[in-house]
Copies of this chain bind each other. A is one copy, B any other.
Amino acid sequence: MEKLAKALGKNIRAQRKEKGFSQDALALVCGVDRSYMGRIERGEVNITVEKLYRLASTLACEPASLLPSLSSLD
């Protein structure tokens, strides 16, 4: 699980930076606690699919685009 959470967090962080959001701003818009947002990006938590969609719609990208491929986690 750890590799997945870390890879997903990295993708979310990269997409956030590309869209010019601060971590606090993304947390605010998504209705997520600021410290939890940091834990998501560091890969410390296993988020739900619903939260993945909230993040993706805020970051204006497809949720699928944030997901690491299965083979990348081998």
Contact = CB atoms under 8 A, between A and B. Distances in A.
13 contacts: A4-B49, A5-B49, A46-B49, A46-B50, A47-B48, A48-B48, A49-B52, A49-B67, A53-B70, A53-B73, A63-B70, A64-B65, A64-B67
A57 B67 CA distance: 14
Interface in A27-74: 46-50, 52-53, 56-57, 62-65, 67, 69-70, 73
A46 B69 CA distance: 21
B46 A47 contact: no
A65 B70 CA distance: 11
A73 B53 CA distance: 10
